[in-house]
Amino acid sequence: MNHLMSAKQVLPEAQILLACANPWVLGAESPLSHALAQESVNWDLLLRAAELHKLKWLLYWKISGNKADKDKVPKELLMGLRSEYAQAAHRMEQLQKALSEVMEAFVAHDIPVLPWKGPSLAQIYPEPALRPCYDLDLIVPKEAWCKAQRILKELNYSPGQPEGYPPITDKFLQSPQFLKLCIEHYFVHEKTEFVVDLHWAPFDPSFVQIPWKMLEEHSRNDRTTVSIAPELMISILAAHACKHCWSKFIWVADIAGLIMQGGLDWEKTLHIAHKLGSENMLLLGIALATNIPGVVVPSVVAKQLSCNVKVKAYTDELMSRFFTNPAARSYRSLKTWLFHANLKRTRLHTLGYAVSLVMTPALSDWASAPGLVDCYPAFYLIRPAILIKCLPAVVWRFISGGYNRDLTHKSDDPSESQNAGCP
């Protein structure tokens, strides 16, 4: 079996991808140049891993930025990457226009809105197209959800229809029941097929609770853009990657990008993570990012990393997993839930997370028993009964491939779905 990284050595393909994850360092003396100089590079394996971890455009950009590096790469490979990157750059331009249109419409109707991930996150890279994007993620206050949905409809975005579920109607999306079942839904443009993923919170409160007031408090608003402050954004990105079990190395590059930009108030950053109860998630993201050549953190952060045994163990495990055969690319089954639970601050938080998963109704429950959702308070008692009835199927899904608690999000990249591969 081919591996990009073994326990004993870092193979050249892994060295190349690690160097490409830092597009802020160029030149003949960069780690990329040294990795490309090795004669044992398996180009097919490198491309497959770059595709898996969404690093293809960073790979192309770093190689094409230095003539000496370009001469070490097969011409056919470079030409293919150049063509695909041009298409990605065009798509990014269109996504940015679509984002501006939606943002302007929301602002015109006095709807507070914050973009996260997507084109707004891509701005931390030297070229926005270097960061693959598949949809537009927007957060609005819960009380503005229905109004935001109506504006999207006026812009020709229709509610997405998750496969295997009853029809998701406008009426259901605007009902109190939906807001109790879900934190988001996706809307598809009738012509461009661009997707807007509309949230009223970044995560299910049982995972990491980030109220709108905190998002608004830690946002930056200048004349042209509105964005989440990096001290909060880095915790959100780390939590998002942890939710998806760090199945894409591009998420590590995102963390590295925020660090490399400089200007992070680390005391404030660590305080926010502590307030959210997501310190372990943040520290894990930072620890992974420090494996990228050129990424350095202050001594106060490095000290916390060295003292956190749990973070150190997961960092070693994930770094070994990132560059293995694509067939072993992500956690599956019960290990996913254990990964989430182990990153909670205390055992009490872990217990609360477990109880919430068992007791809190999800969209899948509505799909199996639509009428029961109307009796929402009693539904907390009904859900365990439904789970017991479905227990054999749930156990099988845990063993064979993971249990998806919510399937309300859809994107071009299946791994970006809200709970892909997670219980």
Q: Which of 155-169, 204-218, 336-350 has the lowest mean pLDDT?
A: 336-350
Tell whether 271 is covered by a domain.
Answer: yes
How much is the pLDDT for 73? 87
Residues 358 and 317 in one domain: no
pLDDT, one tens digit per residue, over 236-269 is 999 999 999 998 999 999 999 999 988 899 999 9
Helices and strands (H and E) in the chain: how many:
22, 7
Is residue 4 one of the residues assigned to a domain?
no
Residues 102, 45 within the same domain: no
Domain boundary among 73, 105, 123: 73
Same domain, 280 and 243: yes
Burial tier of 1 (Cβ tally within 10 Å: 0-12, 13-18, 19+) = exposed
Q: So what's the pLDDT on residue 19?
A: 87
Asked whether residue 284 falls in the same domain as residue 345, the answer is no
Structure confidence at residue 249 (pLDDT): 94
**pLDDT surpassing 60 at residue 200:** yes
Q: Write the CATH number for 274.
A: 3.30.460.40
Q: Residue 261 belongs to what domain range?
A: 92-332
3-state secondary structure of 421: coil
Same domain, 165 and 125: yes
pLDDT tens for 223-236 read 445 689 999 999 99
> Could you tell me if 193 and 230 lie in one domain?
yes
Residues with Cβ within 8 Å of 92's Cβ and at least 6 positions away in sequence, in order, are 119, 122, 128, 129, 133
Asked if 354 contacts 362 with a C-beta cutoff of 8 angstroms, the reply is: no
Quick one: pLDDT band at residue 41, thresholds 50, 70, 90?
Answer: confident
Q: What is the pLDDT of residue 182?
A: 87
Query: Domain total for the chain?
Result: 3
Which of 332, 360, 393 is the last residue before a domain boundary? 332
Q: Taking all residues of the chain, what is their mean pLDDT, rounded to a whole number?
A: 82
Tell me which of 30-34, 121-125, 324-328 is least confident: 324-328
Confidence at residue 40, expressed as pLDDT on a 0 to 100 scale: 79
Domain presence at residue 85: no
Quick check: 204 pLDDT over 60?
A: yes
pTM > 0.75: yes or no: yes
Q: What pLDDT, on a 0 to 100 scale, did the predictor assign at position 170? A: 86
Residues 253 and 198 in one domain: yes
Answer for the pair 114, 226: CB distance below 8 angstroms, yes or no.
yes
**239 and 141 within one domain:** yes
Pair (52, 105) in one structural domain: no
What pLDDT score was predicted for residue 25? 72
Residue 184 pairs in a beta bridge with 199
- pLDDT over 70 (residue 159): yes
pLDDT-derived band of residue 410, with 50, 70 and 90 as boundaries? very low
Domain for residue 81, yes or no?
no
pLDDT at 413 over 70: no
Give the model's confidence band at 321: pLDDT under 50 very low, under 70 low, under 90 confident, else very high: confident
pLDDT at 397: 57
pLDDT tier, 398 (very low <50, low <70, confident <90, very high otherwise): low
Same-domain pairing of 66 and 119 = no
- 326 is a domain residue: yes
Residue 376: per-residue pLDDT:
59
**Is the separation of the CB atoms in 363 and 280 below 8 Å?**
no
pLDDT at res. 150: 95
Instruction: Quote the percentage of the chain above a pLDDT of 70.
Output: 78
Listed ranges 206-210, 368-372, 405-409; the one with the highest mean pLDDT: 206-210
Kindly report, residue by residue over 50-83, the tens digit of the pLDDT.
998 999 999 999 888 878 788 888 899 999 999 9
Whether 78 maps to a domain, the answer reads no
**Final residue in a domain of this structure, among 332, 351, 374:** 332
Residue 145 has pLDDT above 90, yes or no: yes
The verdict on 237 and 109 lying in the same domain is: yes
Q: Which of 36-40, 150-154, 324-328 has the lowest mean pLDDT?
A: 324-328
- pLDDT number for residue 138: 95
Please indicate, yes or no, if residue 98 is contained in any of the structural domains.
yes
**Of the candidates 181, 194, 183, 188, which has an alpha carbon nearest to the alpha carbon of residue 141?**
183
Domain for residue 45, yes or no? yes
Could you please report the per-residue DSSP string of 295-329? ----HHHHHHHHH-HHHHHHHHHHHHHHTS-GGG-
* pLDDT at 192 > cutoff 90: yes
Express each pLDDT in 337-366 by its tens digit. Answer: 788 888 887 777 788 787 777 777 777 767
pLDDT at residue 114 in the model:
93
Looking at per-residue confidence, does 350 or 274 come out higher?
274
Q: Which residue has the higher pLDDT, 131 or 320?
A: 131
* Residues 301 and 259 grouped into a single domain: yes
